[in-house]
């Protein structure tokens, strides 16, 4: 892992904010863990390292499991290359890539490609910030192509693969030529000794679990404005508010055998015109930022994870994660699961994140804040289907408390408005290596 200063001399103010926030994270990591309001604990954590991707494929920057890093040099002038090396024989490698864009950027696209050292293509994905009904600026996409399964040859058995990240802009916004901030998350797991005994994942769209009754006794919580500041919270009901154009984050640790059901009920806003009703979106993200809550989920009242707020009555949204199942890794989520190819898998125990986004109405005067009640429940028996590793434990890019639940990675410590309004793309990659012959 290298730490190299950025050679560009012109940087936008948002990058200054990034480094200031990371410096604060260092201080928090040295002190006591601060408490969030009523039911959340902000995890202390060391900041991400700085990694600079190589501009040449032959000298790709080496990265390994346990890495949580930022590359602030990604721009639209050249491709950046990283070499992901295995350090554990027969291991599974997870790679998460998230890029944040400035709100003023126009027609930006990011492409991530995985290849073997010999140039054989394993998988690729492209994504762009989205507007309109899908108000999530971070538009996560997951890469779970069949070429990455362990029984498909060199892509599954390679000791190293090359990750190439390309950024292109075709608009005329002020972001032209400027770098964006790229977050890299790399994990590596040893082979499971009890593989044959692990339960098969449920291929059906998950059903919502019963939630605590909304009896007016909701506590309060201060959601984070990014992954770094997301408080860790226990199952229950919490009152909150959100402004148009914002995204809020809450962390919920999940173990193998567990799933997460989330409901957000917005209060009616009588003085807001129909034309000023913003759209809302609710999602659950895995530890590598991939969305694990299928868009087809509906609760008993027909509520799904997104839609427009009502001006004269309460509006509810519901999201459910897949069960955390070791054997769901590498499944093709576009065939036989929910039909939504933008979903990632819930194959790793760790910090899952509830993300709530509220869009900006295309016209009309929206309210300054929209109040809501957030209710969520972790269901299932913790530890069911957990792998027993052949040697040691996994290398993960988030801090793990040996006497408590997993914490959350620092991630992109940027104001939430940058992530939402500017948009970001998240690539979640899973590589399963073929088991060595015995």
- Tell me, letter by letter, the H, E, C secondary structure of 171-215: CCCCCCCCCEEEEEEEEEECCECCHHHCCCCCCCCCCCCCCCCCC
How many separate helices (H) and strands (E) can be counted in the chain? 3, 22
pLDDT score, position 10: 30
pLDDT tens for 38-81 read 443 333 344 467 889 999 999 999 998 888 888 888 777 788 99
Report yes or no: 87 and 190 within 8 Å, Cβ to Cβ.
Answer: no
Least confident of 117-121, 134-138, 213-217, 323-327: 134-138
pLDDT over 50 (residue 379)? yes
Query: How are strands ordered across the β-sheet holding 315-320?
Result: 219-220, 236-242, 370-379, 259-266, 315-320
Highest mean pLDDT among 96-105, 299-308, 421-430: 299-308
Measuring CA to CA, how many Å separate 134 from each of 45, 217, 238, 360, 435? 31, 32, 25, 11, 40
Say what percent of the chain tops pLDDT 70.
Answer: 63
DSSP-derived 3-state class of residue 94: strand
DSSP H helical ranges for 193-274 = none
Which one has a higher pLDDT value, 187 or 356?
Answer: 356
Going by the DSSP 8-state scheme, the letter that residue 406 receives in this structure is B
Least confident of 78-87, 132-141, 201-210, 224-233: 132-141
Mean pLDDT estimate for the chain: 70
Structure confidence at residue 137 as a pLDDT band (50, 70, 90): very low
pLDDT score, position 410: 29
Say how far residue 240 (Cα) sits from the centre of its chain.
Answer: 22
Say what percent of the chain tops pLDDT 90.
Answer: 20
Domains contained in the chain, CATH given:
13-191 (2.60.120), 199-387 (2.60.120.380)
Highest mean pLDDT among 83-97, 129-143, 168-182, 414-428: 83-97
* Contacts (Cβ under 8 Å, ≥6 apart) of 316: 263, 264, 265, 266, 299, 301, 303
pLDDT tens for 245-286 read 788 999 999 999 999 999 999 998 776 666 667 888 898 988
* Contacts (Cβ under 8 Å, ≥6 apart) of 183: 48, 68, 69, 70, 96, 97, 98, 99, 100, 289, 411, 412
* Cross-strand bridge partners of residue 408: none
d(CA 235, CA 254): 11
Q: Which two tokens stand for residue 49?
A: 């390292």
Q: Which two tokens stand for residue 67?
A: 């890495």
Strands 68-74 and 180-189: antiparallel
Burial class (CB in 10 A: 0-12, 13-18, 19+), 323: buried
Planar angle of CA 238, 241, 243, nearest 5 degrees: 155
pLDDT score, position 215: 61
């Amino acid at each position: 892992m290298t730490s190299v200063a950025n050679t560009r001399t012109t940087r936008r103010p948002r990058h200054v904010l990034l480094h200031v926030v990371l410096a604060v994270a260092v201080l928090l990591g040295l002190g006591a863990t601060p408490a969030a309001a009523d039911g959340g604990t902000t995890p202390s954590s060391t900041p991400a390292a700085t990694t600079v991707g190589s501009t040449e494929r032959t000298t790709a920057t080496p990265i390994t499991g346990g890495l949580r890093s930022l590359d602030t040099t990604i721009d639209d002038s050249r491709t950046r290359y990283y070499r992901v090396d295995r350090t554990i024989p027969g291991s599974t490698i997870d790679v998460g890539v998230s890029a944040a864009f400035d709100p003023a950027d126009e027609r930006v696209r990011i492409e991530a490609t995985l290849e073997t050292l010999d140039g054989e293509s394993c998988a690729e994905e492209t994504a762009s910030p989205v507007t309109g009904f899908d108000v999530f600026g971070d538009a996560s996409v997951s890469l779970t192509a069949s070429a990455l399964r362990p029984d498909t040859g060199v892509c599954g058995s390679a000791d190293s693969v090359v990750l190439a990240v390309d950024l292109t802009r075709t608009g005329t916004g002020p972001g032209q030529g400027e770098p964006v901030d790229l977050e890299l998350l790399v994990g590596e797991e040893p082979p499971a000794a009890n593989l044959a005994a692990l339960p098969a994942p449920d291929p059906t769209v998950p059903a919502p679990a019963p939630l605590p009754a909304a009896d007016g006794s909701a506590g309060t919580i201060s959601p984070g404005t990014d992954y770094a500041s997301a408080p860790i919270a226990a199952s229950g009901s919490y009152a909150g508010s959100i402004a148009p154009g914002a995204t809020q984050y809450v962390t919920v640790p999940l173990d193998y055998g567990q799933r997460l059901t989330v409901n957000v009920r917005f209060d009616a806003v009588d003085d807001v015109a129909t034309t000023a009703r913003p759209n809302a979106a609710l999602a659950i993200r895995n530890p590598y930022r991939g969305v694990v809550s299928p868009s087809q989920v509906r609760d008993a009242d027909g509520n799904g994870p997104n839609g427009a707020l009502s001006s004269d009555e309460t509006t509810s949204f519901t999201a459910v994660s897949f069960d955390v199942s070791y054997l769901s890794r590498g499944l093709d989520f576009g065939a036989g699961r929910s039909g939504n190819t933008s979903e990632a898998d819930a194959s790793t125990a760790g910090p899952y994140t509830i993300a709530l986004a509220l869009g900006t109405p295309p016209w009309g005067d929206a309210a300054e804040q929209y109040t809501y009640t957030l209710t969520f429940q972790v269901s299932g028996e913790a530890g069911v289907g957990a792998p027993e590793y052949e040697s040691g434990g996994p290398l993960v890019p988030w801090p793990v408390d040996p006497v408590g639940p997993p914490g959350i990675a620092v991630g992109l410590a940027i104001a939430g408005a940058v992530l939402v309004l500017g948009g970001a793309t998240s690539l979640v990659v899973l590589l399963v290596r073929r088991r060595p012959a015995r």
